Amino acid sequence: RDGVPESVVAARGAGIRVVMITGDYLKTAIAIAHNVNILQPDDDEALAAVDCARLRPDGQYLSHTDMDLLTSCVRVFARAKPEDKL
């Protein structure tokens, strides 16, 4: 959408951590995140983008501590289910 990349840059410049949560596949989500400046060219995609299945490895969500550790540096959450967004 028009204006999204600029809005993301402005938000980041204001100290806001911009994240994207999407139902798209991981590679698609990474490409979109690069296009709208959520991910930068020098970002480590393995750390900054995850498939939401990692939030619930055995069908159960991670503990709050583990969830906080995993999500603290992630900016792209792919293949999200509606309940992952809570």
pLDDT, tens digit (0-9, with 9 covering 90-100), for 14-48: 999 999 999 999 999 999 999 999 999 999 999 99
pTM for this model (two decimals):
0.90
Q: Are 48 and 76 in contact, with CB atoms under 8 Å apart?
A: yes
Cα distances (angstroms) measured from residue 21 to each of 6, 29, 72: 19, 9, 14
Predicted local confidence at residue 84, as pLDDT: 83
User: How is residue 24 written in tokens?
Assistant: 């798209």
CA dist., res. 63 & res. 56, Å (int): 10
Predicted local confidence at residue 22, as pLDDT: 96
CA dist., res. 27 & res. 45, Å (int): 10
